[in-house]
Each structure stands twice: as structure tokens, then as C-alpha cells.
Structure 1
Amino acid sequence: MTISPLTHNARPEGELPPQEAAAFDLLEKLGIEYDRVSSDPADTMEKCAEVSKVLGVPICKNLFLCNRQKTQFYLLAMGPDKPFRTKDLSAQIGSSRLSFAPEESLWELLHCTPGSATVLGLMNDTQHAVRLLMEREVYEAEYLSCHPCLCTSSLKLRTRDVLEKLLPYTGHDVSVVDL
């Protein structure tokens, strides 16, 4: 896997896909600093582990979930090595029968492709149809890492900036969960 050197507050060169350009524009607008690496698509946790070594922080496992009726959607940010048990999460959020949401919903609500679900995609959820869930260790960590709506770049962000700048801007709250 090819991974670029770490850069600070520098978007990838050249023309970017619209969803990725929008993510970098938002970070700049909100004054959120970031470290970035570019790579071949890091669309699995195994590939993300290689990128994490360069970033110096684990990339969050971001799961895009929905209820059985596909009327409630959730973005779960959790540690890369945490196991995901539907039963444990369902009980905490009061939603039974969680499953992975359809790819079409991921694109429609967050403008992200499979393998690229990210907290930055919440900028596209203007109807607030997605509820953000953060596993406690991710919520309490100094940094979190995610993709800018496309999995060919990975970012290291201060968690405090996500909680205090990004989420107020998008109008989303976070629910902390224990997994």
C-alpha cells in the first residue's frame, strides 16, 4: 500500500471530488487543524491500520447503521479493535434490530462512499437524519482519525475540535456509548 508523507493543514494537490473538497473547505472555514496522509483506498480496517502508523493515531471504525424499518440512521465511531455487538448497542440507544444501512442511504445522507463513512459527512446531513454515536474511548481520546468523505486521504483531528466546532456547526449532538 502506498502512503504519502504526513502533512499539516494541506489538502491533496489537484482537483478533488466534490465531497472531499467540501470536507477540506469546512475544516478551513471552522479553523480546525489537521494532519493528513494520502494513500491507496484505505477502505478496510487492515488498510487503515497501515495508515494509522503514519498518522500516529488509530483510524476510527465508522459504521453506518439503521433500524429495521430504515427510518432511523446512526453513525457509530468506535475504536478499530473494538468488537461490534448489535445487542449491546441497541439496548443503549433504544433501537432494536440494528443493521448496516444501505449504500444508497450512506450517499444520500452523508455523501460518503462505502469505506469512507465519517463524522465529517455530517455536514451533508442538513435534515439531521443521522444520530452520531461515539464509543467512550473515542470520545475521550485527545485525537481521532477519519477520512474526509473519501478513503484516499486520512486525517488526524483534535477530538475537542470535532466536539466543540464541527458538531455545533452541523447541529448534531453526540451520544456516548460503551461497547
Structure 2
Amino acid sequence: MTSSAKTKDQLFAYLDELGISHTTKSHPPVFTVAESESLRDEIPGGHTKNLFVKDKKDRFFVITVEERASVDLKQVHKIIGASSRVSFGSPEKMLEYLGVVPGSVTVFGAVNDTGHQVTFVLDEDLMRYDIINGHPLTNDATTSIGRDDLIRFLKATGHEPLVLKVTD
């Protein structure tokens, strides 16, 4: 993690400062949707899958979708406004911009993107859930936040989220 990257405790303090209600459940580190499915009964709401991608002009995006949804990486650039087909961003850029490592990509990484290098895209289908769950910068916990509060959090970090239908 870069020295300026916030910790999950700093993320929680920031949410508290914004008056945003959140709950977090610690669990063993999970790296895949399959591994995290055992937590479903314990944590209500929409569970997320996050893709860190870039286009040929080095514009970066975090695409946040419901965990079982599929995203057509050959077509999604047309929807999100990328200049070309997207490919996965490097672990180095992920760490630099979001302050996270592979397996921990999260919409909450916006708190570390102080240079506004990343566009955050929230799938329309995911936004049907009242509660949205994501990793709080590490994959050994899940933080639950209200849908409207998630938008408020992103705006507070200086990111205007795009709510688009990006899943098949």
C-alpha cells in the first residue's frame, strides 16, 4: 500500500464524518465470488464484484456489479465511455490509485483516488438493492452501506459515479 493510502479504520472514520451509517463483518480473506458466497446468509444486500480496467488512453475505471452478473469486456467500453476496448489495469496502478491489491478491488477505493484518475461505474441492476456490500480496502471484511449513501460517499470523494446498465 502506498504510504498515503487510507486504512479501513480511516475509511470508517471518513464514513462517520460524512454521517454515513455502515456495518462491517470481519471474515477470512476471500479472493473470489465463490469463496465469499458462504457469507451470504450473514450479510444481507447486494454483494459486489469489482473490475479495475483501463482503455488505450490509460483512462481507468472501476466497474462495480452484482457478484453473479457478467460483464462483456469486449463491449462494455461503448457503455462506459472508454476510448477503446478495456483491459485489466495493472496491480501497480491499482495500488497507486485505489490503495488496494488484487483481490481487494472495491468501490471504497475512491477514498484513495485523490488525483481522480479513476471513473467509478455502478451497474444499474446492483443499484436496485437498498444495501450494497463491498470490501473496506481489504478482503478480510465486508462493509454494508445504503445505496444512496454509497453515491453520497463517492461524491464526497470527488467522484461523480456513472450508474449504467453494464451487465448482460
TM-score by length of 1: 0.84
Q: Which residue of 2 aligns with 1:25?
A: 13
Paired residue type of 1:102: S
Which of 97, 101, 104 is the equivalent residue of 1:113?
101
Residues 109-166 of structure 1: per-residue CA shift (max 9 Å, x gap):
01012111111110111111100001101123211000110011101110111112x1
Indicate the structure with greater helix content: 1
Q: Does 1:49 find its partner at 2:12? A: no
> Residue type matched to 2:17 in 1?
K
Alignment of 1:1-179 (within 5 A): 19-69=7-57, 71-95=58-82, 96-164=84-152, 166-178=153-165, 179=167
Question: Larger deviation: 71-80 or 44-53?
Answer: 44-53
2-structure distance, mates of 1:18, 1:98: 27
What secondary structure does 1:53 align onto?
Answer: coil
Count of matched residue pairs: 161
Question: Matched residues in 2 for 1:55 and 1:23: separation?
Answer: 20
Which structure has the higher relative contact order (CA within 8 Å, separation 6+)? 2
TM-score by length of 2: 0.89
5+ long unaligned stretches in structure 2? none
Identity of aligned residues (%): 26
8 Å CA contact retained: 2:6, 2:112: no
Q: CA RMSD in A?
A: 1.6
SS in 2 for 1:144: strand
| Structure 1 portions without partners, runs of 5+ | 1-16
Contact 1:89 1:177 in 2 (8 A): no
1:174 CA drift (Å): 1.1
Counterpart of 1:23 in 2: which secondary structure?
Answer: helix
